[in-house]
Amino acid sequence: MKFEDYCRTIDQTQKIRAENTFTLTYTNTRKEEFNISPESIKCFFNFFIDNYSLVENAWKNIDTRRDEIYQYEEKSYRAIYKTVNSEGMKAISAAGSSQTKALTQLISKIISFLAKKNYKKPEENTFFTIDNIKKCLENWDDLEKNSKHKKSNPVKSGIATTLPKQFLILAGLSGTGKTRFVREQAKSTGVAHKNYCLTSVRPDWHEPSDLLGYISRLNGTAEYITTDVLQFIANAWREIVDSGLTLDIQDTDGNGERLVVLGERDILNQVLPYWLCLDEMNLAPVEQYFADYLSVLETREWYWEGDSFTYSSDALLKPATIKEVANTDKLRSALGFTEAEYDELWKYICQYGLAIPFNLMVAGTVNMDETTHGFSRKVIDRALSFDFGAFFPNDYDEFFSPTSFHKRLSYPIWSHASKEEVDFEIESQTGEQIKAGDTTIQFLKVVNSVLKNTPFELAYRALNELLLSVISVYPKDELSLKAVWDDFIMCKVLPRIEGDIDKLTTSDGKEILAELSAVLEIQLAPIWNSTESDVSTMRPDLYREKTDVEGLSDKEKILRIPCRSKDKIEWMGQRLTNSSFTSFWP
């Protein structure tokens, strides 16, 4: 019997769908749907066995617990789920806090199905014992074999890829899956009902109040009118508080007193990214309605001492604005801070404003046509711009049976690169040891020599973000390092370059794209001229990997691809030749 059919026969109150690639969808009592990967549950089972005394102690510390650990009671089981502390179990920790019973029902059904037990209501028996879970793991393959549904091109759950920026621009043809990509990123955590917000940008947006709200005095007193976006930002702050991180007020690096978040890396790893999708974001002028966010984005500060961190940011919603509001309790309620555990956060917000939470990811989808607006370099410099078709191609042959996953992406945890973090060695193609940081700086110096004295010249911000990319990926070999460089050219350099033939010709008569191509052919060797017939010179894809195939090693699961920037520069050059104007945007 298939797992989904089994669940239907034993319990009509909770709907469960077993989907492949392989995701479990389950509901709570309000019929809301949630997603979780079986791999997260498998990690939890192994954690339960290996750390049983920790789990049992967490359960015992709750006064309202039942007599036995396998008897469900909400507070004690919430404590059990909070004990998990690995990157691959963020979804367990999050769902265990907000949907404790629904998650427990699902896990109990998995155990009873695989351990061949008669299912009972969780209050009677959850089967949370070492023996039952061991039997469950022994028969684990039966679960995946009995999945029913197929889905194309999902996001791989598990360890997330840390991005160097938390603002993404996804540009591509209509219908390529840009908006769905953002939603699938949120769904990969298993709690997309709370960490995903879709906002459709309207053509008449011209100021930040369209996005973040405004003060209205129509009723004679000052009242703040919130928006879905502002409420979603507040939700991200609640996630930070719920995780157990510490709030404080500090003067960091002479910036003046402001709200800071402090904590340890293991707790930080449990904080989910919150995905805000601005659909068709350039239907309105981004520089106008997004001005406040773009400015405050550059004030984020991360400080690390060992595994301890401090994070701070300037305020999006200024304290002076909050002080103008006549009824702050009403604003507090609108932002969802009414519960007692948010008293401290709300007090700090009233004093120092509502800052950008570090776990907020903003992704704007973009189509370029006669109805949309272009981007200034102010916007481009603050974003990672993806040619969606180049990074996440639509392959018709893989529509029903995808051969690759999108990797799960997460928020940046650095703001400034330090020499210590990039001062590591990797092995070159010739077997020599080279320093990743020094080599990367030399690479960007050579690239910038082509752009010198043009509107496209790069500054310190570009170097910092390239080094942050190196830190985030932490390449182990030269091909991986050059994959970082290749993607940097795609996401940060080429989006800046646009114009007619005159603008793309230097004062001494050289064509910028041709010069850049000549430089990169040397700097990105051997991946620049790599072909699919020679996998040894192809670069790894940093945003996708092969689907899990039994028997493959981690190295064999790496998806190898040709150089991205070479094809893009050739495309831009051909466009310039054909129409006397070119740009990065498809």
Domain ranges for the chain? 3-150, 161-380, 416-582
The model's pTM is 0.80
Please report the sign of the dihedral spanned by the C-alpha atoms of residue 331, residue 337, residue 339, residue 343: negative
pLDDT of the residue at 147: 52
Q: How far is CA 561 from CA 107, 415, 548, 584, in A?
A: 38, 29, 18, 20
In the chain, the amino acid numbered 394 is N
Which of 258, 262, 267, 268 minimizes the C-alpha distance to 316? 258
The CA distance from 104 to 128, in Å, is: 10
Instruction: Give the separation between CA 68 and CA 435, rounded to whole angstroms.
Output: 56
Per-residue pLDDT, 148: 46
Cβ neighbour number for residue 549 with a 10 Å cutoff: 9
Q: Distance (Å, rounded) from C-alpha 280 to C-alpha 270?
A: 31
**pLDDT profile of the chain (586 residues), mean per 10:** 83 72 69 78 91 94 93 94 76 84 93 92 94 92 61 56 95 94 88 88 94 94 96 96 93 86 90 96 96 95 94 96 96 95 96 97 94 92 96 91 89 94 90 93 97 94 96 94 98 96 89 96 96 91 82 80 97 95 95
161-380 folds as Rossmann fold (3.40.50)
In 438-547, beta strands by DSSP E: 499-500, 539-546
Q: Please give the pLDDT value at position 354.
A: 97
d(CA 522, CA 511): 18
Q: Is the peptide bond prior to 526 cis by the omega test (within 30 degrees of 0)?
A: yes
Residue 134 one-letter amino acid: K
Residues paired with 33 in a beta bridge: 27
Rounded distance between C-alpha atoms, residue 284 and residue 118, angstroms? 58
Question: What is the model's pLDDT at position 258?
Answer: 93
